Amino acid sequence: MGRLDIQIEIERQSRWIPTNGRIQRLQTIALSNSDASIPNVKEWRQPRADRPHNHMDLQLYRAATEADVDGFLNVLERVSTEKNLTLASIFDQVTPLKNTLLHVAAASGNLEIVALIVYRYPWLATKTNSNGDTALHLAAKAGDELTLSVIVQLLTSDVHSQSSGYSRVWVKEVEDDDLPFRKRNKQGNTALHEALINGHQWVALNLFGSDPQVVFYLNREGKSPLYLAAEAGYDSCVLAMPQSSSWQ
């Protein structure tokens, strides 16, 4: 897929989000189990061992790996009903490697499932797996520009509030270093570091403008994204630096 095709697909997704009937269906499933609000920060920061039903349902895992958003919703509704679980508790489930459903869908490149999850539960973008990776890290490592771009678009816009009422209220309760673009994995890398380390210049360029502070973050090797971009000869990324308020 060329860059023009990617841009067209991103724009298509931005139109899909506010109007798609699947959003309403997800809302209906949530309301059926009295799950009408976003879990607060204290709830999703509790140690996972303290929460019931934390092991990911195998059917849901498989559904998240398949490019069938309606099939995913069918399984989600069935698990919610049969096990009497709220959507918040279901989306808090993890694999043995601590991957959430968002991680699984992002790693599989299932764009519509990723968009649906981030739209409803944007705080899942801050969740990390056993290596400290968020879904953004996984998309950046893989060079999946389309998936990453949709996550970025949802996290940096107010599109949530257009139909579901889920604006970025959750961001106010998150510590600076817990914001999705600033999360570091066990190697000290942000998603931007990972994009550059793995040679994905255009993915990195997308991330460069998302959070200007991150370009100066040092990983465990003492390298910042700005250093990595210069080292790799990514002039487009380096030239983007003067546009950030941090540089000025």
The whole-model pTM stands at 0.80
Which DSSP string corresponds to 26-42?
A: HHHHHHHTT--SPPPHH
Calpha distance 123→40 (Å, rounded): 9
Distance of alpha carbon 67 from alpha carbon 64, whole angstroms: 8
Per-residue confidence in pLDDT tens, the chain, 248 aa? 555 454 545 555 554 454 466 666 666 666 565 554 445 444 545 444 445 558 999 999 999 999 898 899 999 989 988 888 888 888 989 999 999 999 999 999 998 899 889 888 888 999 999 999 999 999 999 999 989 988 888 887 654 444 333 335 455 555 666 788 899 999 999 999 999 999 999 899 888 877 888 999 999 999 999 999 999 999 888 887 655 544 44
As separate numbers, helices (DSSP H) first and strands (DSSP E) second, the chain gives 14, 0
Partner residues linked to 55 by β-bridges: 94
Contacts of residue 58, defined as CB under 8 A and 6 or more positions apart, other chains included, come to none
For the chain, how far is it from start to end, CA to CA, in angstroms?
Answer: 36
Report how far Cα 83 is from the mean position of its chain's Cα atoms.
26
**Phi and psi at residue 55, in whole multiples of 5°?**
-85, 130
Q: How far apart are CA 121 and CA 103, in angstroms?
A: 13
Query: Where do the domains of the chain lie, and which CATH numbers do they carry?
Result: 54-240 (1.25.40.20)
